[in-house]
Structure 1
């Protein structure tokens, strides 16, 4: 109280330093995510050229695979604060790494079961038999890919928690490069080789996950705190797994809620009209591109917050989240300005339909506002992850996105896409308030009794 700038503890003053550290950690993670997204588009393009029925079968499998892998990844992000808490203590860190591998195996098996059940899900959902007959061994290969990716996520979550995002980028980009090369080769073939079609895509994705996981686990040997230590999983420890899952599972549940409600919005947009459905899909992709930057930034602040958490330094915890918010706001605004300036060529890349482009141009300001609010709530949410308190985020998402899901159909019927995106903006704005409020409240509980009275 009454400290001058010169006398203030180092944790309170260096906002620029915190932003710089956040950017340097987040940038490799963002580039990794962008590369993965671009790599995923290759499969869609290659299979679309192979045959329409094959692409339909692939889309059916991905409709289950994407939420499954996102849920697994969300669960494994809950490992990060536990790793960051022991970044200077090998004896305490190694058990966390081993337990995280068991958590990856358990969640990966659950995700694999869901993906393996794609033929049954398609049959119950009334998917045409022609599409189901195209599936072949793809669900089995993709189920194996989920499990392998989950084990890889155990390694990448550890590396993010330790602040080694460049090693994560190395693993991710290596796997993506392998996926692109293998997809181009195995689906349509090369030279005298005719290719395997959908089977080739499944093999490519499984090999990509395997390569990425191997590189990530190799990267675990690089940090000095883990050098020379045995990282074999050993026996699972139920209490430790429950502790990790207590942070990761609510985080994964928020991912599922968001996926489900975005699906409801897509259906509501489709009811407005074909052009509206297409415009909504493209707008979601553009907003997602900007939101990915916030996810990278949110993960980057977790190791930044760890020292303040150990010291019960509430000001430091909040300063780190403010640095994340400033970084995310800057990143989204920068991407938004670029999108606004390049809107004509960008939108032309997605569609040549003048009606769709017209709707997108009218919707663009709302898309940018939605991206900003989504980014801000995500960073505050990762602040809660860092202090290992993710249940409030789950509650906030359940309420805000639950209301959005209920309002989507009537609002789209009354006001079309504009009303739908205004509702999404309102839900995200409420989430910003809720996530920030919960973080402010829960982070305050770490203050020492003496500091509270000052």
Structure 2
């Protein structure tokens, strides 16, 4: 996940050096592409607990794999349609004609990338559920390596060959997604539990796909809520001045980088919960999720500590504006607290995924981030970025309480708690 994040930064850097108008067109498309792919990935996380439940039963696992592939195709097509509509979205939003004219075929290439990535996510979600994270890493690293090599070559050209500009970036990202998906599906086919079995989608089992969607779609909606409210926060910061807007944007990028570790740990918790879930062992389920919370907290504190120590050279990679750097440095302790609370709520949220009960997470996000969205602009007008990030910290803290409470109550319904159960 960290490698994929770094790979995305390469495209931004390459296009920024190519032309400002090109980078603007790229940013417009990514403003739709990023939430679209995140939403699809969120929906497919609903496959993980079903996969983990059948990790030793190939006859029961195979239909789940096929149903997950159909869910990936359905959600991927919806995401692809949204990305293909970027020119219309930009036109309706009043984006300058110069930026729209730079788009060309890029949105269509990225729409294809959404669909390909969704098919790849179906495989990686299954692999995570089976506890085969090494294969997931191999797939992600393969795609990232392809993007790092192809993006500069196709955008700027190599030797006597002219670069393709923005379409080159689209081809590079589509190729990287295809390579990552191919490696993931190859790894899935080689898993002992599925060896020799046909993993094509087959005939769709509508009811089974709907059952998977019932777990995955609340997760997808949760992702959309988070992206939408973060957009509101960006607007609130932009209303102050460009320096504060830049400082906020960089701070959000840093939190996203650190938060990736918590998401990885949360997903890895799901197959650890599965055996206890089968046995209706409430104590074991809760212990596995608590272990995930401790691990995620340790990972976030480690990465955050490195960031705090190397804050000056790290920030110099993002901006040369001294005023923006000073603003970020002042916010850094608050930013790290926001990441810590976000990490904890995420792990308890994945605990709910593991027990196949994702609607409470959606409700918690709708309430906490809904209140944050309403308060963001007036709070920022009164107290600047500090007030905005304090509000975000408050919302995340409420989410920790809400997610942990929901998980504790819902996990208690799994069976009769044993002696010493919390």
Structure 2 partner of 1:52 = 20
In the alignment, what sits opposite 1:193?
A: 161
The residue that corresponds to 1:385 in the other structure is 353
CA distance in 2, matches of 1:348, 1:191: 31
Distance across 2 between alignment mates of 1:134 and 1:276: 28
1:252 corresponds to which residue?
Answer: 220
In structure 2, the partner of 1:26 is none
- Name the counterpart of 1:99: 67
Separation in structure 2 between the aligned mates of residue 270 and residue 400 of structure 1, nearest angstrom: 22
Query: Which residue pairs with 1:210 in the alignment?
Result: 178
In the alignment, which of 123, 130, 138 is matched to residue 155 of structure 1?
123
How do 1:41-120 and structure 2 match up within 5 A? 41-120=9-88
Q: Give the whole-Å Cα distance in 1 for the aligned partners of 2:267 and 2:417.
A: 30
Give structure 1 stretches of 5+ with no counterpart. Answer: 1-32
| Structure 2 segments unaligned to the other structure (5+ residues) | none
SS in 2 for 1:225: helix
Q: Deviations over 1:158-207 (max 9, x none)?
A: 00000000100111110111111111111110111001111111111111
Alpha-carbon distance in 2 for matches of 1:111, 1:356: 35
In the other structure, the counterpart of 2:313 is 345
Pick which of 183-192 and 437-446 moved more. 183-192
RMSD: 1.4
Q: Structure 1 residue 328 and structure 2 residue 296: aligned?
A: yes
Q: 1:3 maps to which residue?
A: none
Match of 1:293 in 2: 261
CA distance, structure 1, for counterparts of residue 420 and residue 205 of structure 2? 37
Aligned to 1:6: none
Structure 2 residue aligned with 1:25: none
Count residues with an aligned counterpart. Answer: 422
Query: 2: CA distance between counterparts of 1:333 and 1:79?
Result: 30
Instruction: Identify the residue that residue 100 of structure 2 maps to in structure 1.
Output: 132
Shift of 1:209: 0.7
2:325 matched residue in structure 1: 357
State the distance in 1 between where 2:419 and 2:241 align: 58
**Residues 1:310 and 2:278 are matched in the alignment:** yes
The Cα shift of 1:334 comes to: 1.0
Q: Provide the residue aligned with 2:408 in structure 1.
A: 440
Structure 1 CA distance, aligned partners of 2:22 and 2:318? 22
* Structure 2 residue 247 is matched with structure 1 residue 279: yes
CA-CA distance at 1:297 after TM superposition: 0.3
Q: What pairs up with 1:409-428 in 2 under 5 angstroms? A: 409-428=377-396
C-alpha separation in 1, matches of 2:190 and 2:34: 30
| Partner Cα separation in structure 2 for residue 342 and residue 159 of structure 1 | 35
After superposition, the C-alpha distances for 1:297-355 in whole angstroms (9 at most, x for unaligned) are 00000000000000000000000011001001111111121122112222222222221
Q: Which contiguous aligned blocks of 4+ residues in structure 1 show a shift greater than 4 angstroms? A: 449-453
TM-score, normalising length: structure 1: 0.91
| 1:124-167 CA-partner distances (Å, limit 9, x unpaired) | 11111111111111111111110010001000000000000010
